[in-house]
Amino acid sequence: MGMPSGMPMGTMGGAGTTPPPVPSGSAIGPGGTVIPGPPPQFEQSYIENILRMNLGKTGTFYMTYENNSQWNAKVFTGIVEAAGRDHIIIVDGTTGQRIILLTLNLDYITFNEPLNYQYPGVTGTAVPGR
């Protein structure tokens, strides 16, 4: 059976109506009614997300390198340039050198200024210094 003449391939004949938008993850019930899905998932509070909210701030990064005879622990100070799931990129404010730190070795980070922080699902930022 062939296509009706004058219709481009990949289209179907019909009234040309556009279905209503349906939120992603929603089910369509009988009669075309939308059944709401679960509430949206908020981004979890991982260190890389906190660092991404604080790009450009200077931090001190405390790292531990197990089984390293030259230096077991090392401290880096730099401006947060980027953060990923397994790494942090900082820039040394004096030399301009970029350093990639693996979060696997990260113990903790200190900042000498208030941080931007938004707990997942809650609006607002950190309270300014006390």
In a domain, residue 101? The reply is yes
Q: Which domain holds residue 77?
A: 47-111
In a domain, residue 17? The reply is no
In a domain, residue 67? The reply is yes
Strands 87-91 vs 98-102: parallel, antiparallel or unpaired: antiparallel
Evaluate whether 106 touches 86 at the Cβ level (below 8 Å). no
- Residues facing residue 59 across a β-bridge: 78, 111
In a domain, residue 86? The reply is yes
pLDDT value of residue 18: 63
Instruction: Per-residue pLDDT tens, the chain, 130 aa: give them.
Output: 555 555 555 555 555 666 666 565 566 777 767 777 666 555 566 899 999 999 999 999 999 999 988 989 999 999 999 999 999 999 999 999 999 999 999 999 999 999 999 876 665 555 555 4
> The CATH number of the domain where 82 resides is what?
2.30.30.100
Token pair belonging to 33: 């009614």
In a domain, residue 22? The reply is no
Q: Answer positive or negative: Cα dihedral of 100, 102, 105, 108.
A: positive
How many domains are contained in the chain?
1
In a domain, residue 28? The reply is no
In a domain, residue 18? The reply is no
In a domain, residue 37? The reply is no
pTM for the structure as a whole: 0.61
d(CA 88, CA 101): 5
